[in-house]
Structure 1
Amino acid sequence: MTAAVSTRKAWLMAARPQTLPAAAAPVLVGTGLAVRTGVFDPLPAVVALVGALLLQIGTNFANDYYDAVRGADTEDREGFTRVTAGGLIDPGAVKRAMYATFGLSILVGTYLVYVGGVPILVVGLASVVAGITYTGGPLPYGYRGLGDVFVFVFFGLVAVAGTYYVQAIGSVADPFPLWIPSGTIPAAAVVAALPAAGLSTAILVINNVRDRETDAASGKRTLAVALGYRASRIEWSALVGLAYAVPVVFFLDGYGPAALAPLVTAPLALGIGAVIWRRRDGDALNPALERTGQLLFAHSALFAAGLAVPAVV
């Protein structure tokens, strides 16, 4: 019985449920904007959420497996326990779980492809490939300083705009369109994606600042390794600052005071920033990483609500 519980806990650790709110956050924002503009469609919204969660879990499995087999996860690493490197789960089992999870995300995404057509097919497959090649494949881009770009684009811009698109498309086009019909990805959907993109990337920045020394020693050249501590902290501050500038832009553009709701999370952001600028050890940055994930979810939920509320009250 103990072994079974231990195995379940190990798989839970590999899936990293603490990262799932970050996957849900951009879907909330895209849906909030869809409600505001009158294109809300519950079924595509729910399927987009499930797909986003599966992509996040698959990427977590991939990172756990490939970082271990490449030697990036060592005993000196100060981050959360990795199950492959820690010997808690057989590497082959983690790899199979990775492919199974990505396969399930593709299966779930077939409905979104039916609704959204070729654009969603391309984006969905690109998301799966990006999740695997982040740390896997012959040229893992996460080892070449491009992880920040991947997170900003896929867990921010693509996730928010894609969520809006699969809800807006049903009212203007037949199933499986070959291209993006006019008006289904307005500029507001791209701008609204910037806070989620910035805060998602800020999570990765903390992770890479914490692991900078061990990553450099193992040949994993993240952007933090290339930039150094000071520039990485400036990057984190700029990304978080972006998240607070965008609601102000929406307010000034006529979306009403409710669009400013995310600003109530600013004290949490300032508290995390104080840690980031003073510390670089895991004892301080692991909690800061978790709090940034909480900040992302809270900011996104409030932003989504701020966008949606004027349309429903």
Structure 2
Amino acid sequence: METNVEATTPMQMKNQGFKVWWQLLRPHTLTAGFVPVTIGTALALQDGEFNVLLFLAMLIASLLIQAATNMFNEYYDYVRGLDNENSVGIGGAIVRDGVKPKTVLTIALSFFGIATLLGVYICMESSWWIAVIGLVCMLIAYLYTGGPYPIAYTPFGEIVSGLFMGLIIILLSFYIQTGTVTLESIVLSVPISILVGAIMLSNNIRDLDGDKENGRKTVAILIGRKNAVFLLATMFTFSFAWIAGLAIMNISSYWLLLVILSAPKAYKAVTGFRGKTKPIEMMPAMKATAQTNTIFGFLLTIGIVVSTFI
């Protein structure tokens, strides 16, 4: 029997206004798209290089790829029957709001197309090797929830997302401005990579029970909820300690210690998960995790820029 992925029910025929489409982008995850670009560009500015058009092209392309990844997740979760009208979170536009699956898939592919065009411009202004890396990034974005063996269903989701949306995006953003990669650009990408992975981990902690029922093997499932929350706290702690260590060893400026101001959000995220078992109860903690990445990245960028001119 074939499954008709275009079918909708009366319950699904709801408002399809701006809010629905905005939620389809899963805005709380878009921080993983713009934070690495701003940090990589700020580091380039520190080296005396800054091309505003390259920055904007890289920023928009990164955001489009992240948004497309979210839409692939929306589409394939629906196709595999993982989403329903009672699913918790801002996902589920297909099952709750009647957005056609084909529409979601088409928009995701369109975002990839626009990102590709921006990538051509970036390559023309820097190096065509960027095209190879960019294509790999888009392939990983698709395979994260698409294909026969989705990365998000394995214990490697946090590592892969952190690597590609953290380290690689920072280095690409730095390279297209400067034409090189430095030790500082590499070491400063580490905490951001970890915090991007933390966003994915928080999502998996919230969805642990449902994912387990559907046969996923995420880190949160393998080590259990309590240990997953401890792992999240460890990731936050390591990120702050890493920046402190770079400052103490004079590898980076003490201005980068501004990131400590984001610690309250990290604390809120961890305490928000502790003792919670219902997905709806963990939504504030998920939001705080994404906000930690945003504020940490914003403060890190400020620290880099201030240290450049002082």
TM over 0.5: yes
Give 1:25's match in structure 2, choosing from 35, 39, 64. 35
Distance 2:275 2:188 in 1: 31
How many aligned positions are there?
Answer: 297
1:200-219 matches, within 5 Å, as: 200-219=196-215
Which whole-Å CA distance do the structure 1 matches of 2:50 and 2:208 have between them? 43
Amino acid at match of 2:284: P
| Aligned 8 A contact 1:31 1:164 in 2 | yes
Corresponding position: 1:16 with 2:26? yes
Change (3 A) 1:75 1:88: closer
Look up the match of 2:264. 267
SS state at 1:85 partner? helix
Q: Tell me the alpha carbon deviations over residues 181-226 of structure 1, each in whole angstroms, 9 at most, x when there is no partner.
A: xxx1112111111121111111111111111111111122222122
Unaligned runs of 5+ in 2: 1-12
Q: 1:111 aligns with which of 109, 121, 131?
A: 121
Which residue is 2:221 aligned to? 225
Q: Which 10-residue stretch deviates more, 262-271 or 109-118?
A: 109-118
The Cα of 1:88 is off from its aligned counterpart by 2.0
The one-letter code matched in structure 1 to 2:120 is T
**Residue pair 1:78, 1:281 contacting (<8 A) in 2 also:** no
Alignment of 1:290 with 2:300, yes or no, is no
Alignment RMSD (CA, Å): 1.9
Question: Given the alignment of the two structures, is residue 126 of structure 1 paired with residue 119 of structure 2, yes or no?
Answer: no
How far apart in 2 are the matches of 1:118 and 1:238? 38
* Counterpart secondary structure, 1:86: helix
- How big is each residue's C-alpha offset from its partner over 1:253-300, in whole Å with a ceiling of 9 and x where there is no partner? 433321111011112211221122332322332111112211111111
SS at structure 1 position matched to 2:171 = helix
Q: What SS does structure 2 have at the residue aligned with 1:80?
A: coil
For CA contacts below 8 A with separation 6 or more, give which structure has more relative contact order.
1
Aligned-partner Cα distance in 1 for 2:255–2:27: 30
Q: Using the alignment, how far apart are the partners of 1:243 and 1:77 within structure 2?
A: 32
Match of 2:161 in 1: 151
2:244 is paired with a residue whose SS is helix
CA deviation string 1:52-107 (max 9, x = no partner):
11111111111000111012223553333411232520111111111111111111
* Mapped pair 1:79 → 2:89: yes
Task: Map 1:28-177 onto structure 2 (within 5 A).
Answer: 28-75=38-85, 77-169=87-179
Query: Is contact 1:72–1:220 with CA below 8 Å preserved after alignment?
Result: no
Q: What amino acid does structure 2 have at the position aligned with 1:205?
A: L
After superposition, the C-alpha distances for 1:118-153 in whole angstroms (9 at most, x for unaligned) are 431121111111111111112212112221122111
Judge conservation of contact 1:34–1:164 (CA < 8 Å) in 2: yes
In structure 2, the partner of 1:251 is 247
The offset of 1:307, in angstroms, is 1.2
Q: Distance in 2 between matches of 1:75 and 1:256?
A: 50
SS in 2 for 1:39: coil
Pair 256,141 (structure 1): closer, same or farther in 2 beyond 3 Å? closer
SS at match of 2:98: coil
User: Which whole-Å CA distance do the structure 1 matches of 2:63 and 2:204 have between them?
Assistant: 22
For residues 158 and 32 of structure 1, what CA distance do their matches in structure 2 show?
Answer: 15
Q: Which string of whole-angstrom CA distances, capped at 9 and with x for unpartnered residues, describes residues 135-176 of structure 1? A: 11122121122211221111111111111111111xxxxxxx
Matching residue within 187, 190, 199 for 2:195: 199
Aligned to 2:297: 300
Q: TM-score, normalised by structure 1?
A: 0.89
Letter in 2 for 1:20: L
Q: Distance in 1 between the 2:53 and 2:14 partners?
A: 36
The amino acid of 1:152's aligned partner reads G
Name the TM-score, length of structure 2 as normaliser.
Answer: 0.89
**Secondary structure at 1:160 match in 2:** helix
Q: In the alignment, is the contact (CA less than 8 A) between 2:26 and 2:91 conserved in 1?
A: no
Select between 71-80 and 18-27 the one with higher mean Cα deviation.
71-80
